[in-house]
């Protein structure tokens, strides 16, 4: 593998920063919608610690996930490449050439592993590791298996604990969790039932707190905390303090979920979901308390965001919670509700408190942002722009390249250019399918299609939709990959 020596050389050339390098925590929620935090307008779910984080830092109102579903969104964050350029572009276990690998892993683990992120991809963890950061990924991975090149420890992380496969993460009481390349059975869990002894998010929280507690004072750390919550199935421990209060608050308006939309049946889905989010919020609060106790608060940057918009299955009631308010659509779609997500950044003394930014950012911007703050290298292929100046009260980037997304399911494309957003549905079969155009400054809910009123803008975005993707052998998109 040659990428680490290259990173070391680039990092050496870029060092010489006078300011101390910050510790970094990226806290990634799973399927948390744009409107599900109090600081983003949520009325039914309590999120006091996240609301406090926003009060002490910067809250983005136009921040986007890397994709509308799990694996490619995480890949975009880690590699700094959008779904038109990245290797992992959809939730997938790989094509025909990986059939034997899939079967082997399924027989060994009981779950398929996702398509492996190749060794040739450079991750933010590798870039930070090359300049001396101690790195950990705790939570849900979804980009490979410990036995192949997609293993977290082969992608820049010194330590991994959690769920390798997203399929395993569909039950919050899994039969085992991974510690680096070793499976650790969880006694009392069978990975199929509504209840068990060990709640995955709690075990991940314990490991994250241990990592923070043990962090040496003379080495900065990078913690990528990818909680499996609040993704369905709807499950939360009975000892969650907020569960009883939500049951009382939703009494008479919380019909049981029968399991017919997939995932486990749940007797009180609304109360359970709200409690899952509040328990996630509690984890952030415990991390911040520990940072205060260990004297690491002042030099730790925390970024909180989500991998995509709120869901639509498994008993989750999006209309009741207004999970993507006021946006159209949901997880898996390229409407705003599928890709616009909450994002909060806090860093005492560096990020001024109580700020709100309408800068249009995306998860692939986090690679160059964190790399600049750490004095680390940024690959030339990175699609993001650094937000380091903006975070610290300076000017935003002078340019904002268009934001691009694509989905294999249906072959859809979307692109944001300034206030304009273009959406083309069914582009894999027909790359000249009608473009839908929206002005998000006037119409964030995407209710008024205006392509006919702005033909020049529509033509510009249509051309960018065609030029923003590199053909992918793993994820072909039919006519989009046909030569001109």
State the pLDDT at residue 130: 98
Please tell me the chain's helix, strand, coil percentages from 3-state DSSP, rounded to the nearest 5.
Answer: 30, 15, 50
State the pLDDT at residue 32: 98
At a CB cut-off of 8 Å and minimum separation 6, what does 395 contact?
389
Bigger pLDDT: 403 or 430? 403
Going by pLDDT thresholds of 50, 70 and 90, the confidence category of residue 349 is very high
Angle at 235 between CA 234 and CA 236, to 5 degrees: 135
Going by pLDDT thresholds of 50, 70 and 90, the confidence category of residue 16 is very low
* Region 407-430 average pLDDT: 94
> pLDDT tens digit string along 78-123?
999 999 999 999 998 876 556 677 777 776 777 777 899 999 999 9
Alpha carbon distance 481, 484 (integer Å): 9
Q: Find the Cα–Cα–Cα–Cα dihedral 379, 25, 93, 314, rounded to 10°.
A: -140
State the pLDDT at residue 484: 58
DSSP string, 198-231: --HHHHHHHHHHHHHHH--TTS-EEEEEE--TTP
Alpha carbon distance 115, 128 (integer Å): 24
State the pLDDT at residue 9: 52
State the pLDDT at residue 103: 72
State the pLDDT at residue 14: 45
Is residue 345 pLDDT above 90, yes or no? yes
> In terms of DSSP bridges, do strands 176-179 and 182-185 run parallel, antiparallel, or are they unpaired?
antiparallel
Long-range pairs for 430-436: beta carbons < 8 A, 24 or more residues apart = 430/479, 431/466, 431/479, 431/480, 431/482, 435/461, 435/462, 435/465
Bigger pLDDT: 14 or 203? 203
What number of other Cβ atoms are within 10 A of residue 81's Cβ? 25
State the pLDDT at residue 230: 98
Q: What is the pTM of this model?
A: 0.95
> pLDDT tens digit string along 28-53?
999 999 999 999 999 999 999 999 99
> pLDDT tens digit string along 229-250?
999 999 999 999 999 999 999 9
State the pLDDT at residue 131: 97
State the pLDDT at residue 461: 97
Going by pLDDT thresholds of 50, 70 and 90, the confidence category of residue 370 is very high
State the pLDDT at residue 70: 96
* Region 442-465 average pLDDT: 97
Mean pLDDT of the chain: 93
Total residues belonging to the chain = 484
Is residue 7 pLDDT above 70, yes or no? no
First to last CA, the chain: 35
Q: Which two tokens stand for residue 213?
A: 């507690």
State the pLDDT at residue 104: 75
> pLDDT tens digit string along 283-336?
999 999 999 999 999 999 999 999 999 999 999 999 999 999 999 999 999 999
Kind and range of the H or E run holding 73:
helix 70-79
All structural domains of the chain: 3-401 (3.40.720.10), 404-481 (3.30.1120.10)
Going by pLDDT thresholds of 50, 70 and 90, the confidence category of residue 218 is confident
* Region 433-460 average pLDDT: 97
* Region 447-457 average pLDDT: 98
pLDDT > 70: percent of the chain? 94
């Amino acid at each position: 593998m040659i990428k680490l020596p290259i990173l070391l050389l680039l990092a050496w050339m870029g060092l010489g920063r006078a300011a101390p390098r910050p510790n970094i925590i990226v806290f990634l929620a799973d399927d948390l919608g744009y409107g599900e935090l109090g600081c983003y307008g949520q009325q039914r779910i309590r999120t006091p610690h996240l609301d406090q984080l926003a009060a002490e830092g910067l809250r983005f109102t136009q921040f986007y996930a890397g994709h509308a579903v799990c694996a490619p969104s995480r890949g975009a964050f880690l590699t700094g490449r959008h779904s038109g350029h990245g290797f992992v572009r959809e939730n997938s276990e790989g094509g025909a050439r990986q059939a034997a690998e899939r079967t082997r892993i399924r027989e060994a683990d009981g779950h398929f592993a996702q398509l492996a992120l190749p060794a040739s991809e450079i991750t933010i963890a590798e870039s930070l590791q090359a300049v001396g950061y101690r790195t950990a990924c705790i939570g849900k991975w979804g980009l490979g298996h410990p036995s192949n090149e997609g293993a977290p420890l082969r992608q820049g992380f010194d330590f991994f604990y959690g769920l390798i496969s997203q399929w395993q993460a569909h039950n919050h009481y899994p039969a085992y969790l991974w510690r680096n390349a070793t499976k650790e059975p969880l006694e009392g869990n069978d990975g199929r039932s509504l209840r068990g002894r060990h709640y995955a998010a709690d075990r991940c929280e314990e490991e994250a707190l241990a990592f923070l507690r043990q962090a040496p004072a003379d080495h900065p750390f990078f913690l990528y905390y990818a909680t499996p919550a609040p993704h369905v199935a709807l499950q939360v421990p009975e000892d969650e303090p907020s569960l009883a209060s939500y049951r009382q608050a939703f009494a008479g308006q919380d019909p049981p979920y029968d399991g017919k939309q997939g995932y486990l049946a749940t007797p009180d889905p609304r109360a359970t979901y709200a409690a899952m989010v509040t328990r996630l919020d509690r984890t952030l609060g415990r991390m911040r308390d520990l940072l205060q106790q260990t004297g690491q608060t002042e030099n730790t940057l925390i970024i909180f965001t989500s991998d995509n918009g709120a869901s639509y299955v498994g008993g989750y009631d999006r209309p009741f919670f207004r999970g993507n308010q006021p946006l159209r659509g949901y997880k898996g779609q390229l409407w705003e509700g599928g890709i616009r997500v909450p994002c909060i950044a806090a860093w005492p003394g560096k990020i001024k408190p109580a700020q709100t930014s309408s800068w249009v950012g995306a998860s692939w911007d986090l690679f160059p942002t964190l790399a600049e703050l750490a004095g680390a290298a940024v690959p030339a292929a990175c699609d993001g722009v650094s937000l380091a100046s903006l975070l610290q009260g300076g000017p935003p980037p002078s340019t904002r390249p268009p934001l691009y997304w694509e989905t294999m399911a249906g072959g859809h494309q979307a692109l944001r250019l300034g206030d304009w957003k273009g959406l083309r549905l069914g582009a894999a079969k027909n790359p000249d399918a009608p473009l839908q155009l929206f002005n998000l400054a006037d119409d964030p809910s995407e209710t008024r299609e205006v392509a006919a009123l702005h033909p020049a803008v529509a033509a510009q975005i249509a051309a960018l939709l065609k030029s923003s993707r590199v053909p992918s052998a793993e994820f072909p998109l039919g006519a989009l990959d046909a030569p001109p």
